[in-house]
Structure 1
């Protein structure tokens, strides 16, 4: 069964911590949303050095992980929000071990291609006011992922996220994330070098794979 996008979320830059701007908190939008080369119309990134751009155009954090965090955090009001983790596409029934780097999906008129995992940062812990969340993401591989936009178009909530191409790489997003980020992953040098040489993986993650491989 093809997963359904239950909400499409966007955010605008607002004061987040000590006056620093962030668009991490995203809210659902009603009706059709245009998806351009760098993401959803109406969605912004305050820190363009670390966020946004064609390789991080659309973010998906699996809705199923909200259940995990409900248990880990002992409940939290923010978990009721579809954009709790800064996600653009709220989708249940799909997670990191189900999708591969380079997989392509149709959503409405748009075609999206998985480009990289999402690297967790302090903003997650600040949003939830909980320490240790980043470490748990690195340990468990509950990273979420980004898409690049292959075909621009209009989409809206309630539509199915339909995989239209797969098998372009041998690595799930969970494998990519854990191999490069988790220091205990036991990733082989050959795998890391192959990831570093894979043009379907975004440049910053290719660099990360190369650096980890060189340290082995």
Structure 2
């Protein structure tokens, strides 16, 4: 059964060389239940809603299985929140999620898959800057992107909650299909 390993929120805003000047990519697990509302995890920050937030990118999910792949590649532990994700999942292939697919998380929250994450230079700087040259391409080529989700129904979630994949439109593209383009 797919489930949440962690629910993550911003730990601290960090200075960043990008256009906004700060990044909220530094996310850490939250203890206990936390509310998810229309703009995502309560108390989270989206420094750039143009690229990483707003209603259609309210929540970002990343799989433990994909994090373990990158732990092997990078040779270091990558705790929940490292990828800037709000939800660290296990037991499901989040990259096979279909656009429009809905997930019930816990008892009440319903999320809808909207699009894949597109890796950016802020993410590359966070991962390791000059030590990880070509990170954006490397991350994209591995096709372990994780989806953005919109909030259909608000409510509380917590680590350990089950994730039920609800109906998806038959034939809808996966997030990887959308990322690859026509």
TM over 0.5: yes
- Pairing partner for 1:153 from 130, 149, 155: 155
User: Relative contact order, CA 8 A, sep 6+: which one is greater?
Assistant: 2
CA contact (8 A) 1:96 1:174 kept: no
| Partners of 1:97 and 1:15 in 2: CA distance | 28
Q: Deviations over 1:92-120 (max 9, x none)?
A: 22224432111001112110000110111
| Partners of 2:120 and 2:156 in 1: CA distance | 30
Deviation at 1:11, TM superposition (A): 0.4
Higher mean Cα deviation, 25-34 or 45-54? 45-54
Aligned residues: 176
Question: Which residue of the partner structure matches residue 105 of structure 2?
Answer: 107
The alignment's C-alpha RMSD in Å is 1.8
Deviation at 1:18, TM superposition (A): 5.0
SS in 2 for 1:64: helix
| Partners of 1:168 and 1:56 in 2: CA distance | 23
Deviation above 4 Å: which 4+ runs of structure 1? none
SS in 1 for 2:6: strand
Structure 2-normalised TM-score?
0.89
Matches within 5 A, 1:1-216: 2-18=1-17, 20-73=21-74, 75-77=75-77, 79=78, 81-108=79-106, 109-129=108-128, 130-179=132-181, 187=182
> 1:133 and 1:93, CA in 2 relative to 1: closer, same or farther beyond 3 A?
farther
SS in 2 for 1:177: helix
| Partners of 1:96 and 1:173 in 2: CA distance | 9
| Partners of 1:115 and 1:88 in 2: CA distance | 15
CA contact (8 A) 1:101 1:169 kept: no
SS in 2 for 1:49: helix
Higher strand share: 2
Q: Deviations over 1:2-30 (max 9, x none)?
A: 21101000005512335931110101001
Structure 1-normalised TM-score?
0.75
Unaligned runs of 5+ in 1: 180-186, 188-216
Task: Specify the structure having the higher radius of gyration (Cα).
Answer: 1
CA contact (8 A) 1:5 1:160 kept: yes
| Partners of 1:97 and 1:126 in 2: CA distance | 23
